[in-house]
Structure 1
Amino acid sequence: MSTLIQTLFNGMALGSIYALVALGFCLVFKASGAVNFAHGSLLLLGGYLVAVLHEPLGFAGALAIAAVGTAAAAAFEALVLRRVAKADGPAVPTILTIGVDILLLTELARRIGGDVLGTGDPWGASVVTVGGITVAQARVYSLVVALVLVGVFLLAFHRTGWGLAMRARSSDAEAAALMGVRGDRLQMSAWMLAGVLAAVAAVFLAAFPGTGIDRTTGQIALAAFPAAVLGGLGSVSGALLGSVVVGMAEALATGYQQQLSGLGSGLAEVVPYAVMVLVLIARPQGLLGAKESTRV
């Protein structure tokens, strides 16, 4: 029983990290209608900046600079892709984000090489033991920080003019523009916020029991993409629910890998996509996504 409880807690903590990444996917999609496949590279950029700056600036200073850096990179990406979207719609920018991802990932991989970089986080390899259950201290902090950030985001999303504008634009961009919603500014804020969340997620993904930042860290963000999709890509609540589902499924697959050895090794890496496929077969619009209506 203690193993199950520990596994479930790890799943919640992992899901909370995925939630930060999935929110980034969801924000960009709601604001611009495009899927940002370069989000993993932004996450790797944030982790890399923390890794190289934590010694001269300290962990907090490095994280602050990393958040600004990823926000600036996301803003630049949004500026470039916005010009294309005006002429060709959201499909072409979505495809172009793949090119941005390749360029950014190639440069970061060149800089990192075969090294594994530490982020200098204050938790280190410390663990917390409660009632016979031992969990990494970083996992506890990741859950707390994610809950705070998600809570602040939801409060802003439902109680501020920015959130109202975001929801209005997502529902009907033309009507929102007629009501005075500045679409360009809204898109820029969404992309920048997604970049900030990616930087925070990178720190916790690299923290113990993770090994640090390496050239493949950005690929972890791809596990959060199924979370956003199975919850309903345009639904904030769906992204959060999907992150918990994916985190739990991955943690269970990792914790019970030996019992599930008949399904092959590396099951935890496949589980997010398997869950996504199964959910979309039953509900193509996602768990909390709305069905599209077509006017005839």
Structure 2
Amino acid sequence: MNTVLDIVLNGLALGSVYALVALGFVIIFKASGVMNFAHGSLLLLGGYLTAVLHEHIGFAGALAVAVLTTAAVAGLVDRVLLRRLGTDPHTAHVLTILTIGVDIVLMTDLARRIGGDLLSLGDPWGGSVATFGSVTVAHSRIAAIVTSVLVIGAVFALFRYTGWGLSLRAAAEDREAAALMGIRLTRIRTLSWCLAGLLAALAAVFLAAFPAPGLERTTGQIALKAFPAAILGGMTSPPGALAGSLLIGVTEAVVAGYQSELSVLGDGFGDVAPYAVMVLVLLVRPAGLFGAKEAVRV
């Protein structure tokens, strides 16, 4: 029973971090119809800046600078590169391919800077743990859950109660009608990229914290595990991104916790488990758990 509780808590903590990344995928897709494959390199950028700055300005200051810088870089990617190809939804596939190029450039430079090192982000939790009865949970996991709940709650409040959120929902529903109503689609789009970059930088802190050994050049690739979560929930559904992330997080924790029992599936099954769950769900619900079927009028 204690093993089950450990697995569930670790899975929820991991899923809550994946939710920050998956929400970034969904926000950008809703605003521009683009699958942002540069999200992993933005996550690595935020983690790297926190790692190199925390000794000089402290963890809180380094995290603030990293979050703002990553948000600004994400906004510049949209404003300087993607917008030059236009905002027509029919060119979204071209822009998606362009994000792969951006990811390669950023990831290559950051990997060169990090090398084979393991960088500490100077987080205040360290390797400390909390004990609840016979269940032991790392403080970093608890912080991940609390922070994700607060941040995701704030993002949902932005969607629901602000003019930006209303404009984003209107643009996602019908871009042409939204433009005719005076909504500035380019501004909505750039702000969406900035918000996604902010969430990615924040997620990097918890992906590199204990029990992870630290930030390494492959940390950005973990963002790809949040991609199935976004697909699972439906690429236009923020609540779906949250549900899909929790499902992926718990699945990954279960596979890791029962690795010996699942050895018949292969030693590397844990790496493909998120994608296996994604395929199984999409076979039943092709639009995702919360995705709406597209209505076509003839």
Q: TM-score per shorter chain, which class?
A: over 0.9
TM-score, structure 2 normalization: 0.98
Aligned mate of 1:234, from 230, 233, 236: 236
State the secondary structure of the residue aligned to 2:35. Answer: coil
Counterpart of 1:8 in structure 2 is: 8
Counterpart of 2:221 in structure 1 is: 219
Counterpart of 1:89 in structure 2 is: 91
TM-aligned CA deviation for residue 203 of structure 1: 0.2
Amino acid at match of 1:180: G
Counterpart of 1:40 in structure 2 is: 40
Runs of 4+ in 1 over 6 A off after TM superposition: none
Matching of residues 177-256 of structure 1 within 5 Å: 177-256=179-258
TM-aligned CA deviation for residue 268 of structure 1: 1.7
TM-aligned CA deviation for residue 280 of structure 1: 0.8
State the secondary structure of the residue aligned to 1:135. Answer: strand
Counterpart of 1:100 in structure 2 is: 102
CA deviations on 1:13-62 (whole Å, 9 max, x unpaired) are 00000000000000000001101000000000000000000000100000
Aligned mate of 2:132, from 130, 133, 138: 130
Counterpart of 2:267 in structure 1 is: 265
> In percent, how many aligned pairs have the same letter?
60
Paired positions, count:
296
Q: Distance in 2 between matches of 1:85 and 1:266?
A: 41
Counterpart of 2:112 in structure 1 is: 110
Counterpart of 1:51 in structure 2 is: 51
Q: Distance in 2 between matches of 1:98 and 1:26?
A: 17
TM-score, structure 1 normalization: 0.98
TM-aligned CA deviation for residue 104 of structure 1: 0.5
Counterpart of 2:284 in structure 1 is: 282
Counterpart of 1:61 in structure 2 is: 61
Counterpart of 2:25 in structure 1 is: 25
Q: Distance in 2 between matches of 1:53 and 1:92?
A: 36
TM-aligned CA deviation for residue 85 of structure 1: 3.2
Q: Kindly indicate whether the alpha-carbon contact (under 8 Å) linking 1:2 and 1:132 is maintained by their aligned counterparts in 2.
A: yes
Q: Kindly indicate whether the alpha-carbon contact (under 8 Å) linking 1:85 and 1:92 is maintained by their aligned counterparts in 2.
A: no
Provide structure 2 residue ranges, at least 5 long, that are not aligned to the other structure. none
Counterpart of 2:174 in structure 1 is: 172
Q: Distance in 1 between matches of 2:212 and 2:270?
A: 15
TM-aligned CA deviation for residue 282 of structure 1: 0.9
TM-aligned CA deviation for residue 267 of structure 1: 2.0
Q: Kindly indicate whether the alpha-carbon contact (under 8 Å) linking 2:22 and 2:241 is maintained by their aligned counterparts in 1.
A: yes
CA deviations on 1:58-87 (whole Å, 9 max, x unpaired) are 000000110011111101110110221336
